[in-house]
Amino acid sequence: MALLVWGATLLLLSSSLAVFEPGCSFMNNQCVYNVKLGHEGQCDTQRTATSTGGGADTCCNAVQGTMNNLQGVVDDLVKQMHGVQQKLGMNQSASVLLNKTTNERDQLLQELTTKAAELNTSQANLAHLVQQSASAIQKYKEEIANLTRDLNNCRGVLGLQTSHVSQPTASADYTMSLCTFENGTCGYIDLNSANLWKIGHGREYRYIGPQEDHTTGAPKGTYMYIDPKSGDYGYTWRNRTFYLASPDFRPGPAYCVRFWYNIEGSDARSLLVYAKVGSGLGYPIWRSYGNQGQSWHLAEINVDPEFTRQSFKVVLAAVTDAYKIRTGNPPYYQEVNTGDSIAIDDVYVYNTTCTHIPRCPAGAITRKGSNSSSCYTFHTTPTPWYKGADACRQEGATSHLVTITSKEEQEFLVGTIKQSAVFSAAGGYGWYTGGNDERSEGHFDWTDTGLPYQSVYSDWHQGQPNNVANDQNCLLLQYANVNYEWGDVDCDEAHPYICEVELPVV
């Protein structure tokens, strides 16, 4: 570009010199004209002036003026050249700056793309790590619980003092023991060798008693009940009592006992609870009488400090009018007043007062709806449905697998999952709810109360439920790409699950 400028300058100079050709010079202090200047009638012939004045001075002055004009033209060209150079320099700087900015932008975009990929990878790794850690913790907890249960069973058989597993709850200043009777009796034993409590499944009697256990609300779930036809006796005996005693609980300033019970039938007399200290039962600390229908009911008892200052047992006593009489020899028996059922499930014992126990578990997410309110906990460890139902009960006496009875509740759960990278990653293949149709194929019920029921709201994905392989009985928030519409799956599949506690509407 600089060569171009200088070339233009030389061209202009050559053009100017062609017009203004020098025509005189000074020799011996005289003005000598030897070249025409292109002005007709001036200096046509060579002559010598004798002095520097007169006509010669006039001619030379004219030449000098022409040279001055030429110098002005050159100066203007130089100025124009500098102006062009400055403009070219500015444009060149701007171009360099533009190129530099473009390169920096491209580099920044590349860095952002790389960081975004790293972030996505980190989130996926975090979710995977959360799942692995939670699975390991759950596995160790189950192994400890199984070992403790086996130890308690052995101690109970040998007549030794049993221990109980204490689990941390929402507050760090108390512990809780829970028996759901899903994996045995947790060290609870009969105090009578004839009148025995039994493990029940579903509906043990055709017309009376629980339809399902309270823990899961499904046919495979278990609970404890008395069989009014059991017992070995040969005489009339009303008011028969079936005693079930807990392991020992350590001394403490206060205790709270909560459990679910079912009393149904005209011959069911009562259900009593004792705090047994030493060898004596004393008086009952809680009682419930008569037929109360098929529903499960929650009992709550604050144990008096007079009992808790020393080790004590919780004893549940079911009283029935059912009996049988001996009619012959060898012994034949006639059963009388067998129309009753008394059952218990999900026994909680806290070493604090009942009022001190929070309603919602630690870390729960609360929803305040227009017609109902609840708090929810999201568990990312993949778990079979029945174990998830049992785990929800571990959170408290009113906690259960989530029931979804409105569009408002469905949208709240979906929004909560999508707002969490961990929940979204963990639940990519679905979240378990409390829905189940094991008792009647195709009729999905909610099972949180132990008395199955249906609701008017549903959000099934197209083509669902479809009961593939005739073995899909559990309701899953399954289709993440369409707002977790519902599907049915095999209950033995492992999925994350959601627990719920209903709250009073204020």
| pLDDT tens profile 358-374 | 999 989 999 998 888 99
Q: How far apart are CA 116 and CA 40, in angstroms?
A: 86
d(CA 149, CA 189): 12
If you ran DSSP here, which 8-state letter would residue 329 be given?
Answer: T
Collapsed DSSP state (helix, strand, coil) of residue 362: coil
User: For position 75, what pLDDT does the model report?
Assistant: 73
Structure confidence at residue 209 as a pLDDT band (50, 70, 90): confident
The encoded tokens of residue 368 equal 């305040």
* pLDDT confidence tier of residue 117, bands split at 50, 70 and 90: confident
Q: What pLDDT does residue 10 have?
A: 41
- Residue 39 main-chain phi, psi, to 5 deg: -115, 110
Please determine, for residue 155, whether its predicted confidence score (pLDDT) is greater than 60.
no
Q: Is the pLDDT of residue 421 over 90?
A: yes
3-state secondary structure at position 69: helix
Q: What angle do CA 224, 198, 203 make, to 5 degrees?
A: 65
The residue length of the chain stands at 506
Mean pLDDT of the chain: 79
Cα 406 from Cα 369, distance rounded (Å): 10
Q: 37 falls in which pLDDT band (50, 70, 90)?
A: very low
> In this model, does residue 424 exceed pLDDT 80?
yes
Peptide bond into 382 cis (omega under 30): no
- SS3 of 171-188: the string is CCCCEEEEECCCCCCCCC
CA dihedral 36, 40, 46, 51 (to 10 degrees): -100
Is the per-residue pLDDT at 50 higher than 50?
no
Confidence of residue 59 (pLDDT cuts 50, 70, 90): low
Percent of the chain's residues with pLDDT above 70: 65
206 or 296, which is more confident: 296
285 vs 504 pLDDT, higher one: 285
- Distance of alpha carbon 88 from alpha carbon 93, whole angstroms: 9
Q: Cα separation of 369 and 256, whole Å? A: 31
CATH number given to 162-356:
2.60.120.200
DSSP assignment, residue 248?
P
Question: Lowest mean pLDDT: which of 105-119, 418-432, 444-458, 476-490?
Answer: 105-119
pLDDT value of residue 352: 95
Tally of CB atoms within 10 A around 20: 15
Structure tokens at 381: 């460890």
Class of domain 365-503: alpha beta
**Pairing outcome for strands 373-383 and 485-489:** unpaired
Look at residue 90 and tell me whether its pLDDT is greater than 60: no
Range in 1-15, 309-323, 358-372 the model is least confident about:
1-15
Range of 51-55, 173-177, 337-341 with top mean pLDDT: 173-177
Could you tell me the pLDDT band of residue 16, with boundaries at 50, 70 and 90?
Answer: very low
Residue 239 to residue 392: CA distance in whole angstroms: 37
Q: Which two tokens stand for residue 447?
A: 């099972």
Q: Which residue has the tokens 């979240």?
A: 431
Question: Which pLDDT belongs to residue 156?
Answer: 39
Residue range 399-414, pLDDT digits in tens: 999 999 999 999 999 9
- Flag whether pLDDT at 416 surpasses 50: yes
Q: Residue 446 CA to chain centroid, in angstroms?
A: 23
Instruction: Assess contact for 425 and 124: CB atoms under 8 A.
Output: yes
Structure confidence at residue 160 as a pLDDT band (50, 70, 90) = very low
Considering only residues 20 and 282, tell me which one the structure prediction assigns the higher pLDDT: 282
Paired strand residues for 323: 336
Question: How high is the pLDDT of residue 39?
Answer: 46
Angle between the N-to-C axes of helices 54-158 and 2-19, in degrees from 0 to 180, rounded to the nearest 10: 170
Kindly indicate the confidence band of residue 30, based on its pLDDT and cuts at 50, 70 and 90: low
Domain layout of the chain by residue ranges: 2-106, 162-356, 365-503
pLDDT classification of 328: cutoffs 50, 70, 90: low
* Tokens representing residue 203 in the block: 């509906």
**Furthest-apart CA atoms within the chain: distance in Å:** 183
User: What single-letter DSSP state applies at residue 277?
Assistant: B
| pLDDT exceeds 50 at position 8 | no
Between 83-92, 175-184, 206-215, the lowest mean confidence (pLDDT) is in 83-92
- The region of weakest confidence among 32-36, 303-307, 466-470 is 32-36
pLDDT at 494: 97
Strands (E), 238-389: 240-245, 255-264, 268-276, 286-289, 297-303, 313-320, 323-328, 332-336, 341-350, 365-368, 373-383
Q: How far apart are CA 158 and CA 180, in angstroms?
A: 23
Per-residue pLDDT at 346: 97
Which pLDDT score, from 0 to 100, does residue 101 have? 66
Task: Decide which of 316 and 141 is more confident.
Answer: 316
Tokens matching residue 50: 């004798």
Per-residue pLDDT, 99? 61
Q: What is the mean pLDDT of residues 293-305?
A: 95
Name the pLDDT band for 79 (thresholds 50, 70, 90). confident
Determine the Cα–Cα distance for residues 405 and 459; give it in Å rounded to an integer: 10
Q: How confident is the model at residue 349 (pLDDT cuts 50, 70, 90)?
A: very high
Tokens of 304: 């008096």
